[in-house]
A and B are shown apart, each in its own frame.
Chain A
Amino acid sequence: MRKGLVQVTDGKERLGHWMLAISCLCLCVTGLGMMFQSFNFLGTMVGGLANLKMIHNYVGLIFIISLLAMIRMWWREAGVFVFPEDMDWIKAAGGYLWHVDKVPETGKYNPGQKAFFLVVAIFGALMVVTGLIMWFPSVLPVGLVRWMYPLHALGFVVIFAFFFVHLYLGTIGNPGSVQAMTTGWMEKPVLKMLHPKWFKEMEEKGEFIEYGAEPRAKETGHH
């Protein structure tokens, strides 16, 4: 890495993100192996569909822990819409769908990111609740257990679709942004373009942590 990069995430955030991401992907794949008989071969690869079910169930536990940690860590920044600035951004679709001369500036996370956070939090919780009941169905009468399956499938429909949106916008759709979740250090111009308001706030408060000048940058910031 080189000078001029700005730290945008800390290790805790990245660890939480990847624990959630990897467990979620693993759940999607193992779940697909059980949802579609044409994907049953995924079970064969781990020595039988029963093993796939076991992996799905226990990875689910990691997902629960990661989901709770993520919600606790990010809900203040990413879980609350701030009006009217967020509404202005939504009206402009963040400049993603048509040409916008000046995209309304929002806080650290824009409403698109907030929507993604909320979808993961809400539908993730739905997956956890329905999944646990499917694992231990004797806790509820059969008439209610029946509805856990379509609800679990609904959660999958939403999360699986949003996953690809997230993947696109976090990588090639916004070049330079993926570093936030890999090294944690982003290029200043990219950061300024994607998060102008946050950029200005950090600039004003002198909160920038710049690469190669960490201790001093921090100290001078407080002067």
Chain B
Amino acid sequence: MTEKIKLYDDSKCTACRGCQLACKQWNGLKASQQRNRGTYQNPPALAHNTFMIIHYQERVDDKGNFQWLFRKEACMHCTDAACVTVCPSGALHYNKDTGTVGLDHDKCIGCKECVAACPFEIPRYDAKTEKVYKCDMCESRITNNLEPACVKACPTGALKWGPKDNILKTAAKRVEELGGAANIYGDKYVKGTHFMYVLKEKAAVYDGIHTNPGVPWSVTLWKSWLKPLSLLGAGGVVAGSFVHYMLHGPKAPPPEGTNSDNAAGKSEGGE
């Protein structure tokens, strides 16, 4: 297994949205008609038929300078992926070669558990097909040694795809080159994501970004504690009942003819 990472460098992104189109094309996703909302950003948000979007953000910094901030939003492909942890059917899975998070729609039952679990709020449910959709890092391409469609389409080198070690080095080098507030986003969360950013500004500056994402406590409590406890608890009760039956025994009424008020030593009760 060679863990692979997709890197997005917003300082090199011109927001041409070639990646958005390539994503739609490779995954056979229809575009939906949208209204003009006074922004270049289109579609407005991720959807069951939109696995990635480029965010357009007009920002005025502390010195009053105008600045464009772009950000590619898509599944971050966590190493410790809450969606994989909660998926009841195994539809969501780790790609054995790359460590990215794939989604097998034949197995998806549309329970939406991943939608609530994802710390990046990525998976989208489609009521029509009753299934959930998200970027699977073009699993059909990467398993055939091709780069993801978005990376293939990127004309500026803002998107890169490669082995983890190489990409982390490239990212560190780029952060150094950019200087200032530049930073890597993704390596510190959920045991490292397989989609990372090099951001030219502090993460908190970007609209809609998750500044401290992590596997929700609710998921840990549910899957690591309560799930095993359900079988342990029931098993314990069954074992306890057996021991009780052997040592204490069932409650039987006194033999006929005896004074039951005195002989009812073992009492009363019974559910």
Residues of A bordering B, CB below 8 Å: 34-37, 40, 43, 48-50, 52-53, 89, 92, 94-97, 99-103, 105-106, 110, 112-113, 116, 134, 137, 142, 145-150, 153-154, 156-158, 160-166, 168-170, 172-177, 187, 189-190, 192-196
Given the complex of chains A and B, what is the CA–CA distance between A138 and B219 in angstroms?
Answer: 19
Complex A-B: 15 CB contacts under 8 Å: A36-B227, A94-B268, A95-B251, A95-B267, A103-B267, A103-B268, A134-B112, A145-B116, A153-B227, A157-B230, A160-B234, A161-B233, A172-B250, A173-B241, A193-B260
Q: Does B155 contact A (CB under 8 A)?
A: no
Given contacts A157-B230, A157-B233, A112 and B269 within 8 Å (CB-CB):
yes
A residues within 8 A CB of B226? 150, 153-154, 156-157
Given contacts A49-B109, A157-B230, A173 and B88 within 8 Å (CB-CB):
no
Within 8 A of A (CB), among B238-258: 238, 241, 244-245, 248, 250-254, 256
B229/A173 in contact, CB under 8 A: no
| Nearest Cβ on chain B to A142's Cβ, whole angstroms | 6
B residues within 8 A CB of A158? 233
Given contacts A40-B90, A150-B222, A153-B227, A174 and B270 within 8 Å (CB-CB):
yes
| Nearest Cβ on chain B to A164's Cβ, whole angstroms | 4
A153/B269 in contact, CB under 8 A: no
Residues of B bordering A, CB below 8 Å: 86, 88-90, 107, 109-113, 115-117, 121, 130, 216, 218-219, 221-222, 226-227, 229-230, 233-234, 236-238, 241, 244-245, 248, 250-254, 256, 260-261, 264-271
B270/A156 in contact, CB under 8 A: no
Given the complex of chains A and B, what is the CA–CA distance between A172 and B227 in angstroms?
Answer: 29
In the complex formed, the residue of B with least CB distance to A103 is B267
In the complex formed, the residue of B with least CB distance to A133 is B116
Given the complex of chains A and B, what is the CA–CA distance between A177 and B111 in angstroms?
Answer: 41
Given contacts A37-B88, A160-B234, A189-B260, A96 and B269 within 8 Å (CB-CB):
yes
In the complex formed, the residue of A with least CB distance to B131 is A50
In the complex formed, the residue of B with least CB distance to A36 is B227
B269/A176 in contact, CB under 8 A: no
B residues within 8 A CB of A149? 86, 113, 116-117, 218-219, 222
B250/A101 in contact, CB under 8 A: no
B residues within 8 A CB of A137? 112, 115-116
| Nearest Cβ on chain A to B117's Cβ, whole angstroms | 7
Given the complex of chains A and B, what is the CA–CA distance between A173 and B10 in angstroms?
Answer: 69
**Which of A36, A166, A174 is B251 in contact with, Cβ under 8 Å?**
A174
A35/B88 in contact, CB under 8 A: yes
* Given A97-B248, A164-B238, 16 further pairs, Cβ under 8 A: A34-B89, A43-B89, A52-B109, A89-B268, A100-B267, A137-B116, A150-B221, A150-B222, A154-B226, A156-B226, A157-B233, A161-B236, A164-B237, A168-B244, A169-B270, A187-B253
